[in-house]
Amino acid sequence: MVKTLKKIAALAGAVVLSATMLSGCAKEKEADTLVFGTNAEFPPFEFVSSNGLIDQYDGIDIAVAKKIGDDNGMAVKIENMEFDSLLIALQNGQIDAVIAGMTVTEERKEAVDFSTPYYVAKQVMIVKEGSDIKKAADMADKKIVVIQGYTGETCVNDMGYDYEAFKKGTEAVMELVNGKCDVVVIDSATAAKYIGDNEGLVIVEDDEAFASEEYAIAVAKGNDELLAKINASIEKMIADGTINEFSAKYAEGSAE
């Protein structure tokens, strides 16, 4: 009986949840659906697929989100939106959490709370085979493309180089394939995926120029109850090898 009532309540769950969050109450959540926001343009972490794991969405992050739901007896819903909109949607209560290969940064930490990190990555350069770009400083007089709002943009900006920002990784890589730019700066595992999908591209690493980055799930500031659930699940997935399993399943070649 309680279960049936819960199910009925779940139908109205999304509405109840956003109303609760908008009013700013820290009441215990009654909805049993967890809504994750992502930007499904970031393989192998999230992408659109004809046979997705949750609706049309698949990837390492989608598998992690599903596991968090399973561990907590909650259904998982994915809301796909622009990367730049994710933290705003979180603050508005439109979504419960962000899972988007999102790097923990000091700036983002001012706006949201992050979970235990579940993946280590770094920025790399994708160039055409035979390029004379061998280290980050070689980009100085080159045409650089980044993806808007990604940490790669921040890195290139901090280096003081001019660049053009695209909305999607695939668009950035097409610029390179078509010879319209010399280098794309993007996260390592995603770069590995793109060079696997496009002939004639290689990855150039420069560990002195690009620091390592940690991906974590973001929740609204102060949503400690959800954060604790997410952390418990992530820590279990790290300890029992589930994250490694998902990474190996979705990553291309020797992607980290």
What are the angstrom distances between the C-alpha of 96 and each of 83, 108, 173?
15, 16, 31
The reply on whether position 247 binds ligand GLN by CB under 6 A is no
The reply on whether position 150 binds ligand GLN by CB under 6 A is yes
The reply on whether position 100 binds ligand GLN by CB under 6 A is yes
Site string for ligand GLN, 114-143 (x = CB under 6 A): ------------------------------
Nearer to ligand GLN, 35 or 102 (CB): 102
Nearer to ligand GLN, 103 or 231 (CB): 103
Sole binder of ligand GLN in the list 102, 146, 191, 216 (CB under 6 A): 102
Nearest to 90 by CA among 143, 36, 45: 36
Nearer to ligand GLN, 10 or 81 (CB): 81
Site string for ligand GLN, 19-58 (x = CB under 6 A): --------------------x--x----------------
CA–CA distance, 53 with 170 (Å, rounded to integer):
22
The reply on whether position 188 binds ligand GLN by CB under 6 A is no
The reply on whether position 166 binds ligand GLN by CB under 6 A is no
- Alpha-carbon Rg for the chain in angstroms: 19
Q: Report angle CA 214, 54, 14 to the nearest 5 degrees.
A: 90
Please identify, among the stretches 23-31, 87-95, 98-106, 243-251, the one whose residues bind ligand GLN according to the rule CB under 6 A: 98-106
Tokens coding 106: 């000091």
Residues in a beta bridge with 113: 219
Q: C-beta of 219: minimal distance to ligand GLN in Å?
A: 16
Nearest to 36 by CA among 49, 8, 11, 55: 55
**Is the backbone peptide bond immediately before 117 cis, with ω within 30 degrees of 0?**
no
Please identify, among the stretches 87-95, 101-109, 124-132, 233-241, the one whose residues bind ligand GLN according to the rule CB under 6 A: 101-109
Q: C-beta of 123: minimal distance to ligand GLN in Å?
A: 8
- On whether the CB atoms of residues 194 and 29 are closer than 8 A, the answer is no
What are the angstrom distances between the C-alpha of 171 and each of 42, 103, 157, 174, 232?
12, 21, 20, 5, 37
Taking CB atoms, the residue at the shortest distance from ligand GLN is: 103
CA–CA distance, 222 with 201 (Å, rounded to integer):
43
Residue ranges in contact with ligand GLN by CB under 6 A: 39, 42, 83, 100-103, 150-151, 187
